[in-house]
Structure 1
Amino acid sequence: MATRLVQVNIKARDDSALGRFWAEALGWGVSSEGPGVTNVEPVGLVWPDPVAVWVDVVAVPDPETVKYRVHVDLATTSAAHHAELVARLADLGARPADVGPGDVAWTVLADPEGNMFRVLEPREIYRDTGPIAAVVVDCADPRAMSRFWGAAIDWTLHEVTDDHARLRSAKGVGPYLEFVRTPGVQTVWTRVHLDLLPYAGDDQAAEVARLRALGATDSDIGQGDVPWTVLADPEGNEFCVLGPGR
């Protein structure tokens, strides 16, 4: 048994407006499964597909404005593409984000609701990922996180050091999932989290039990009676195990 990473979930004051921003940023389309939910999805693909990680934007009151532990890195193919994308994102409502001193090749931005993300300089490793190069999780121990997440989902571990771990779909397509050692990483409830989905024919409850045995713990974020289960990984990052009806 195994689960798969299928989407990044972002909480927002205005799911429709933020969903449109991310759709324009990624060159994707939007749909909605109900009030307060905007699905940002690659055109021409049927969910779920390992070629992409979808983005779900969900309306909640008064999201925090902290720097979340989970963010996305966007890929570029050239210096010109990097400059064009940063300029286009600014026109869409993104703004520069100050994350401290340092002369770096990438650009850090915040979306219209303050969620930070990076536009990377061209990197060969991300040349075939699509617009999202990686989903990045700040953590204290990348090795431990790679062990948990490597067992939790059916993705292949490509690299692990004391400072960084990188996984990707076993099919060798789509974005990477990366864990980056970050001193003083926060442990507050985050408004950005990962959603996992069992494979067709696998039992959701059995997958949840398996994840608990790996070290996940139950997490109550006020979700109420929903068809998914909210867990937290060994460093306290919430994630959802989706069921029928997502």
Structure 2
Amino acid sequence: MTLRPVLVNIKALDDAKIGRFWADALGWDVSSPEPGATAAKPADFDWRDPVGVCVDVIAVPEPKTLTKNRVHIDLATTSAAHQAELVRRLKGLGATPVDIGQGDVPWTVLADPEGNEFCVLEPREVYRDTGPIAAVVVDCEDPRVMARFWGEAVDWTLLEVTDDHAVLRDARGVGPYLEFLRVPGGKTVPDRVHLDLVPDPGDDKAAEVARLRALGAADLDVGQGEVPWTPLTDPEGHEFCVLARS
């Protein structure tokens, strides 16, 4: 039984605008399979057999609060010149600089046009082969708790775990990393950004959801009604969804 991260799900007032921003930012294609949903994904991306993750922007009526998102994307660069050029290009697309108390750091913190924070990293050897998304980063209170849950929840390899951070990646050595960073303070508002997971072919979604509950996931009711996906929360309350393959 396995689950794989497949989507970085972002809530937005204007899904078309934010979806286009992320498609242009990442150099990916944009599509709108249904009203209120806009996807940014590589041209050959197959969500049923994902290599890496794509971005799915979903329209909601509530604007982002001033609270920093506890899940964000880090973008990879290959050189100092690439980092500077990417930051310039992203600002031209509508990104704005953000001060989240980062101080003097080698990466650049920006926000998309609706205020969702992300980072443009300085070149790092570890991210040389990830593609444009270096990592999906989750703020947490206890990385060891997150490592225990997510290391069992998804079919990714746990590469490192300390009191301050935990790191996972697809066992095939492709796509972005999933990183959990210790950040003071717990979750106070619903996540604006979350992960969606997909079962492998032949795996039973209901059985996978039951397995996640046994690991410590909790059911989440956001007024979704009868839908083919199942919303859950991890042991620290971060929302995520298990998608149906059909």
Same fold (TM over 0.5): yes
Select between 115-124 and 38-47 the one with higher mean Cα deviation: 38-47
Which ranges of structure 2 fall in alignment gaps of 5 or more residues?
A: none
In the TM superposition, what are the counterparts of 1:1-246 in structure 2 within 5 Å? 1-65=1-65, 66-245=67-246
**TM-aligned CA distance change 1:48 to 1:124, over 3 Å:** farther
d(CA) in 2 for partners of 1:208 and 1:125? 32
User: What is the Cα-based RMSD across aligned positions, in Å?
Assistant: 1.1
Shift of 1:77: 0.2
State the alpha-carbon separation in 2 of the partners of residues 96 and 30 from structure 1: 24
Moved more, 75-84 or 36-45: 36-45
Tell me how far 1:188 sits from its aligned partner: 1.8
Query: More deviation in 61-70 or 208-217?
Result: 61-70
Residue 63 of structure 1 aligns to a residue whose secondary structure is coil
Rounded to whole Å, the distance in 2 between the matches of 1:130 and 1:15 is 23
Q: Displacement, 1:44?
A: 2.5
Cα distance in 1 between the residues matched to 2:164 and 2:108:
21
Structure 1, unpaired ranges of 5+: none
Structure 1 CA distance, aligned partners of 2:183 and 2:48?
31
What TM-score results when the alignment is normalised by the length of structure 1? Answer: 0.97
Partner Cα distance (1:221, 1:46) in 2: 27
Deviation per CA, 1:73-127: give whole Å up to 9, x if none.
0000000000000000000000000101521000000000000000000000000
| Contact 1:51-1:175 at 8 Å conserved across structures | no
Aligned length: 245
Q: Secondary structure at the match of 1:47?
A: coil
Cα deviation for residue 225 of structure 1 reads 1.3
| Structure 1 residue ranges (4+ consecutive) displaced by more than 6 angstroms after TM superposition | none
TM-score (ref. length: structure 2)? 0.97
- By how many angstroms is 1:46 displaced? 2.4
